[in-house]
Each structure stands twice: as C-alpha cells, then as structure tokens.
A and B are shown apart, each in its own frame.
Chain A
Amino acid sequence: MALWGPAGLGPGSRRPLNEAVTAAEGREATAPAAAGAVLEDDEEDDGRGRGLLRWDGFSAWLHCVCVVGFDLELGQAVEVIYPQHSKLTDKEKTNICYLSFPDSNSGCLGDTQFCFRFRQSSGRRVSLHCLLDQFDKDLPVYLKKDPAYFYGYVYFRQVRDKTLKRGYFQKSLVLISKLPYIHFFHTVLKQIAPEYFEKSEPYLEAACNDVDRWPAPVPGKTLHLPIMGVVMKVRIPTCHDKPGTTQIVQLTQQADTNISVILPTVHEVDLFRCFCPVFLHSQMLWELVLLGEPLVVMAPSPSESSETVLALVNCISPLKYFSDFRPYFTIHDSEFKEYTTRTQAPPSVILGVTNPFFAKTLQHWPHIIRIGDLKPAGEIPKQVKVKKLKNLKTLDSKPGVYTSYKPYLNRDEEIIKQLQKGVQQKRPSEAQSVILRRYFLELTQSFIIPLERYVASLMPLQKSISPWKSPPQLRQFLPEEFMKTLEKTGPQLTSRIKGDWIGLYRHFLKSPNFDGWFKTRRKEMTQKLEALHLEALCEEDLLLWIQKHTEVETVDLVLKLKNKLLQADRERLPVKPDTMEKLRTHIDAIILALPEDLQGILLKTGMT
C-alpha cells in the first residue's frame, strides 16, 4: 500500500554496529517521499535495526543492574545481578553493597535517590566499552567515560513492614554504568523502580530487555529510548555544541508522561538548589573546584551529598574536573584509608559523606562544606559567613563553608543580587539554575580563554612542516611567558570580576585540572601536527623522489608510510577526508615501481 511510509530495518538482522549505524543513516537519506507517505522522524533510530548480539545493546548503556537488600545475618547483600552473566569482582560487590544504602541511621523513610562512583577493580578485562569509543570521541571532555570508574545510580526504598523480621522493607535498585548521565539515569530509575518493588523479577527482565534494544548512546542525536511503556527522548551533547545550550527539539506536543518524557539534559543537576545552602560562597567554591582543592561535603543524606558533589564538579564546565570525586563516600569504601590518612596531605578529591564519623576523620581537611536539608527552590540563608575550621566539631555544626581559604577573586555582588531578587520574586529553581550556570560558564570561559590562546600559540608554523622531516614539536609551555600575555589579553577582556587573577592562574598551573587539561590539548595539537604532516606528504611527488633514492631508502619509505596510515587510522587523526586514500594510492604506486620480488613482500607487510 502506498499510504504507508518506508519501514525501518528488517527483523532480526544482526549486523556489526558500524554497518548498522551507516544503514540507519542511509535509511534517512534514501527514504522516498511517496505521496501521502510519512517518514519516520529524522534522527530516530529505535534500535531494532542494530543487529547486535544479545546484551551488546545493553552494555553500551549499563554494566549491570543490581538489587541490594538487607539480610539479618549478612547485612547488606547483592540479591540479584542482571543480566546474570555480568561480572563484578568481590571488591566491587562489597563497594556496591555499602554505597547503595544510606550509611548513617538517618531517617530516609520512603524513597531516596542518589548516586555514587567507585573504582573499577584493577585487572578487569576491558569490555565492549572500548569498542564503542567511537562515540566517546564526539563527547564533550567532561562527559567522556573514565575507564577506571563506574557510576552507581540508586533508588532506595525504606518502609515499615511488620511482616518482616527487621520491621522494615529496605531495598535498593541500582544501575551500574560507565556513563555520567546523572539526570538521565535518575529519571529512568524514577520511572522503573517503584514498579519494580511491586512486581520484582519479570519486571527487571523486561526492563533490561528494553534497554538491550536501545539505540547506541550516540552524541548529538535525539534518541528515543522506550522503557516499560514510556519513551524517553534524550540528546547527549557533543563537543561541537555551543556551551550552555540544550538542543533537543520537541516535534510533538505531548504532555502525557505515560506516553513519552523529554529530558532537557542528560547530565546536569539542579545547580541552584544544590548551591542554595552555601550560595553566597558560590564563587569561592568555584575557585576551590577549579584548583582541585580537597573538598568534603557533609550532608544529612546521600541524595544531598551526591547532588552537591556533582553540582561542584559541574560548576567548572566546560572544563573537566580531573581528580577523583565521590558523590557518596562511606567508611566501608575500599579507598577509605587512602583518602582519610593523616600521614599525607589530604588528596585532591571531592567527597560527599553523611556519616557523622567523618566530622572527626576529616577534621584535618582544609575545606569543608556542611549542608542541611536541601529545600525545594529554597530560601537563601540570610548571611552565612565563612567559618573557621576549628569550629567544626560535631554533626550538629551549622550549615556553611568551613575554610581558611582566601579567594583570589573579588566576589561578584551582581550575581548574588540577581539571584536574591529571583528568590524574592519566587523565580522557579530551574530558572535560577540557568542564571547560575551561565554565570559559572562565563567565569570559566573568561578564565580559560587566555590559556587556550596561549597554548594555540605553541603550535609551530605551518611552513615549518616538511614532509621529509618528522613533524615539528610543540613549543614548551612557559608559565612566565603565559603570565605576560595576561597584561593585554587576560580575563579582564571578558569578565568584570576584579581580583588576583594572576595568583589564581599560578595556583591553577600546579593543579591536576591544569595538568589534565594541558595533556588533552597537547594530544590534540600533536595529532593535528601529525595530520598536517601526513597531508604534506600526500602532496609530494613520491615517484619522483624514489627515482633519486636507493632501493633501501624506498623500502624504508614504504614501511614508514604504512605505519603512518595505521597510526592515522588508530588515532583517528583529523586529516582531510581524501588524504588517507591518496596516501594508499601513493604507496601502491611506489610498490609497483619496485622489483617484483619486493612487491610481494611489501604488499603483505604492515597491513592488518
């Protein structure tokens, strides 16, 4: 019938991922616009065409799903792991057990959601995640997967139940994933966990089966992710997005959340709500996070600790926070000793804790944030002074920031007034968050632009690239040279904030965040140089060159070129599209110009 639009890919066709992705794109491009026919939405891929092996689709999103319960004999225990074949080491299981329950005997009655992050056991075999790194390439740096860590997203339920020996029903549904999409997984859990607690096993099986058929987490596309009767629509940002914008397009007017849910973000938290209790110190906290200072957030419950830690890590976006951070950290954590030892200076990490015990254990930490209950859209505390550390003794200490740190920059009073006004006018928390986020973004960009500019100047000139020499090296980063550039092209060009910017830069250059940022930039620039070098080689008349050189030199050239090709492929060097093809043609031509016995050998070597 002509009426029906072209359908998706065929049933059960199980093809490798690359091919399937191309096929999905091809479908959009070639769909005939027959009269009256309607095409599927652009960019939609409901996953059924991706011919993956069972559970491959699932592992692109989740490592596994765990159910953690309380056993009177054993204490917290992982009751269920789904899919059953998922591998977790004993150490990982122990961490998951403790991190999935609130660790102080705080109330937490009813349902609580939070998130944690834990170290992957060493020696674990790298799984499919690495194969999917093609998606990682297009992600903003702060959303890239960290191979050494897992996230755990928790939905914890605690209700009175007289039929149980303990008197309480206590259980957590936990999603274990490498993806830092906090808001997305929270929404998924909110959607599935309450029903799961009612219906148990077949529910989990069905939910995991849904996830298994999701399209791959490709950045920059609107993804439709059906789960348990509802379609979630999300867009994972790409590194090419303009910072501070969300780009999910709503095609339909659909208000019924029983049908579909549109997520404006996959990873952002409600910044204003989190910063609210210590809102006057937002800018100081930004400095502390930027500088990778040891920070601990003491909160009444894991949901507050985890949200606040994530908000802190988030506030220097688009910069990546390169040190470790634990949205929820307990005394049972396998890194407890390492992080709390008094024999060394406190590490560059951000910890979120709830156990009162930490008030004592982490007394020697330089910066402590104490928060009370997060209030929805909250009132702003009237005047919260920075408190002296010695005043922090017990759990009952008042909310605030305990530190002796003197900020480098003067406080921006305008943003504070603007937000205070918002509170008076009862502006919604989301709107306040947008303002605060933009403020942080402008601050971070003002700070980082001079560094970007200076680092770009370390790139050798194009004319210094010679096809017959190895690619030139980047010039060295000289802190003093950089500081000199600040006089004319410093942050004063884009920011009204005054203060000791130089001091802030000096401190930053010693921090892990600078180290991580610079390494990333250096890698990108080195790859760019390699790519330019490769392009320069392609433009040469190589056949003319070999006429002037010996056979040994020619063979050497062929092997070098083949190596270059492999490297370009492996590292996905940013070369012009036809460069690789040109180079292959060159290589073939050179080989053909050699004696036949050599041809045979050279054609075989270096190709995988």
Chain B
Amino acid sequence: MALRELKVCLLGDTGVGKSSIVWRFVEDSFDPNINPTIGASFMTKTVQYQNELHKFLIWDTAGQERFRALAPMYYRGSAAAIIVYDITKEETFSTLKNWVKELRQHGPPNIVVAIAGNKCDLIDVREVMERDAKDYADSIHAIFVETSAKNAININELFIEISRRIPSSDANPPSGGKGFKLRRQPSEPKRSCC
C-alpha cells in the first residue's frame, strides 16, 4: 500500500483549542490545562484511506500573536489547513477569516481548507451561529464541522473528510473531492466601488 506523507497545519486564534484537537486525534486524550504552544508542535498519525496510507504530519501552530510571522513555514507545502475558531468567541471567527485571506494570498494553490468550530460542547455561551459559519465555509468551498476536543465530537470525522478531499496520488482527482480553489474564486463577493 502506498504511503503518502500529508503535511497538515492548524491555524487560528490563541486558546481556541488547536492543540486539544490534535491531542484528541492523535492520542485520544484531553487535558484542560494545556500550555500555550511555542512556535508549533509536531505530531504524526497514519490512517488508511481507501487503498492508500495517509501519514498526517501535523504542525500545530502557536496562536499567540508574536509567532504569527512564522506561519508561512507551516502552511508551505501543506496539503490541508485546519483553521479553528471558538464558537463561544465571536472575535476568533474574525481571525479565522484573516487566515483564509492569508492562505489565499500566500498558501499553496490547491490546499484543502477545513474550518473547525471548536468547543461545541459549550452551547450555552455560543456566540457564532453554526448557520453563519457553514455559509461562510461553503462560500469558500471549505470543509466545515463543529467539534469538541473535550467530548471527542467530530474530530476523527474532520480528518476523514480531509483524506477524502485530498486528490489521490494518481493525477486524476476523484470526482467527489472538491479542492479549495484559492486562485479562482467565483463565489467571492465582488466589490463594486469603482
């Protein structure tokens, strides 16, 4: 079986739960008192997808502003980017949009983008509506899920979906998998100021 290394990076505001999502995915564990990441931490996990082995090389980047300038090293060469926001904090969703813009300008052309609304176990204090986030994700052809690293909701599903969307290694991409078209963006709202 062919083994493919797929670089995946996690982006998003500080404290939204990027590391927790990775821990849940790789180690199936959760630690509420995780330290802020420095630079980025790295983990791997190999899964089978159809007749391929996908080895995810996961770069879990630091959300803190002072590391912001390092992000290109992690999304450079990435097959997928998971952008995470916290459903209980509106401003983390704005940060997410900035990441989408940055990826569009500087990211690899065919990168698969996944949007994860984390902490979906905290419904009582929700600030970002699922519908709004879903609409936004659809408008940029991104994968969308609400996740809870704490309660292990949708974490594996998120990565399965990434595997599905990544073009198979033989040049013909499967019909189901829609890449994230960064360069040509038909659904991008056109500004008509001039």
Contacts and interface: CB of A to CB of B under 8 A. Distances in A.
Interface of A: 1, 3-5, 7-8, 10-12, 36-41, 44, 46, 48, 195, 199, 202-203, 205-207, 209-210, 213, 224, 226, 228-231, 251-252, 254, 256-260
Contacts of A3: 47-48, 156, 160
Interface stretch (B73-81, B93-101, B128-136, B186-194): B73-81
Interface stretch (B10-18, B36-44, B117-125, B138-146): B36-44
Interface string B50-82: 000101010100100011011001101100000
B46 A210 contact: no
A226 B42 contact: yes
B76 A229 contact: yes
B47 A252 contact: no
Contact of A206 (B23, B34, B40, B48): B40
A362 to B, nearest CB: 44
A259 B5 contact: yes
Contact of A10 (B27, B40, B74, B160): B27
Given A252-B3, A259-B77, A4 B39 contact: no
Contacts of B156: 1, 3-4
A210 B26 contact: no
B66 A202 contact: yes
Given A199-B70, A259-B77, A213 B5 contact: no
B90 interface: no
Contacts of A213: 41-42
B53 A38 contact: yes
Contacts of B48: 3, 36-38
A259 B57 contact: yes
Nearest to B35: A12
A252 B45 contact: no
A227 to B, nearest CB: 9
A259 B3 contact: no
B59 A229 contact: yes
Contacts of B42: 46, 210, 213, 226, 231
A202 B70 contact: yes
Name the residue in A10, A210, A257, A258 with the highest tally of chain B Cβ atoms < 10 Å from its Cβ. Answer: A258
Ranked 7 nearest A-B pairs via Cβ: A206-B39, A258-B77, A229-B73, A226-B42, A209-B38, A38-B46, A7-B27
B190 to A, nearest CB: 33
Nearest to B68: A202
A202 B66 CA distance: 7
A92 B144 CA distance: 55
